[in-house]
Amino acid sequence: MLPISEQHYYQLKKKQFMIEIGKTQILTVYNKTDFGFYLDAKTQNRKENILLPLNQADDSIDVGSEIKVFVYRDSEDRLIATRKKPLAELGQMAKMRVKEVTPIGAFLDWGLEKDLFMPFREQKYNVEVGMSYLVAVYLDKSKRLCATSNIYDYLSSDSPFHEGDHVTGTVYKVNPEIGIFVAVDNQYFGLIPKSESFSTYKEGMEISARVIRVREDGKLDLSSREIMSEQIDSDAKLLIQKLKANKGFLPLNDDSTPESIKERLSMSKKAFKRAVGNLLKNGIIQFYDNGIRLK
């Protein structure tokens, strides 16, 4: 085996111990200054050591201490360490609140001193100040941590759920032609098909749903409606509420279009007819030429 030069040896060590931006890691305190502690980057170059600001330290830290820190870039684009834990690390997802929206992008609260920037090109829908959205953390070409709302490639199809399970998740895309895309548990692929969508959804909304199908690829088809026997009762109750709110009358019947029924009741025409049948059977409503009325 050929000997390696001292310079090559230190280059190899530098690659081996390179600081991981956007990751929590254990680093050793190299020296102390008036404004903080410098952590050993193990690159044989003191100028590359990472600052842990004094407000992030306590009396238990001294030269030689090993501490767990998260490394990112400060407002002056310098690598810096913090003992705080961000909502998400590099390659992870989390819901984050929008603090500011500018022409070039949005700034999100991810639990650290410096907000996380989401470039305008990474906003797949309009975001609003004060609202929270599910985003992923990535490194841009300048090695700066940023957020993206384009989370499709970060989701997994290896979920533990089965047909009939009740799940929660976050809406991350609304497509009127296909349905509502949901990140189940904020990590798994989920879809409420157009045929199962009877409410108004927006990106960032947290929803509850029922798994109606597990596809061969592991992705989940969802419904916001309960199983039929339970849904008939809830649909009938909703219909009664709507009738009472409209002085006991609704201009809906068997000839009404699916669109008009969905607009007024947020249910399909099939669900409407089942609910009406239930109420007729129990003598609660009557049919008229132009609609239905409470008895």
What is the DSSP track for 228-263?
A: HHHHHHHHHHHHHHHHHHTTTEES--TTS-HHHHHH
Helices 228-245 and 258-265 meet at what angle, rounded to 10? 80
User: Any idea which residue has 């004060």 for tokens?
Assistant: 130
User: Any idea which residue has 């709302």 for tokens?
Assistant: 149
Q: Is the dihedral of CA 75, 79, 84, 90 positive or negative?
A: positive
255 pLDDT band, cuts 50/70/90, is: confident
Q: What's the whole-number mean pLDDT along residues 165-193?
A: 95
- CATH 1.10.10.10, domain 229-294, yes or no: yes
Counting residues of the chain whose pLDDT is more than 70, the rounded percentage is: 92
Counting residues of the chain whose pLDDT is more than 90, the rounded percentage is: 54
Helices 269-281 and 228-245 meet at what angle, rounded to 10? 80
Quote the pLDDT of residue 96.
97
Q: Which of 106-110, 168-172, 200-204 has the lowest mean pLDDT?
A: 200-204
Quote the pLDDT of residue 241.
86
Cβ(182)–Cβ(196) below 8 Å:
no
Q: What's the whole-number mean pLDDT along residues 109-119?
A: 95
Cβ(168)–Cβ(131) below 8 Å:
no
Quote the pLDDT of residue 293.
87
145 pLDDT band, cuts 50/70/90, is: very high
Q: What's the whole-number mean pLDDT along residues 238-265?
A: 86
Of the candidate CATH numbers 3.30.465.10, 3.30.230.10, 2.40.50.140, 1.10.340.30, the domain formed by 155-223 belongs to 2.40.50.140
Q: What's the whole-number mean pLDDT along residues 46-61?
A: 88
pLDDT greater than 90 at residue 263? no
Quote the pLDDT of residue 12.
39
Radius of gyration of the chain (CA): 28
pLDDT greater than 50 at residue 16? no
More confident: 185 or 12:
185
Maximal CA-CA distance, the chain: 97
Report the SS3 class of residue 9. Answer: helix
pLDDT greater than 60 at residue 67? yes
Query: Which residue ranges make up each domain of the chain?
Result: 6-82, 93-152, 155-223, 229-294
Q: What's the whole-number mean pLDDT along residues 123-128?
A: 95
229 pLDDT band, cuts 50/70/90, is: very low
Quote the pLDDT of residue 5.
46
Quote the pLDDT of residue 232.
59
15 pLDDT band, cuts 50/70/90, is: very low
Give the domain 93-152 fold: OB fold (Dihydrolipoamide Acetyltransferase, E2P) (2.40.50)
CA distances from 220 to 134, 180, 185, 280 (A): 18, 12, 12, 36
Q: Which amino acid type is present at position 253?
A: N
pLDDT greater than 70 at residue 60? yes
* Same fold: 93-152 with 155-223: yes
Q: Domain 6-82 has what CATH class?
A: mainly beta
Helices 269-281 and 258-265 meet at what angle, rounded to 10? 70
pLDDT greater than 90 at residue 102? yes
Q: What's the whole-number mean pLDDT along residues 159-176?
A: 94
Quote the pLDDT of residue 226.
61
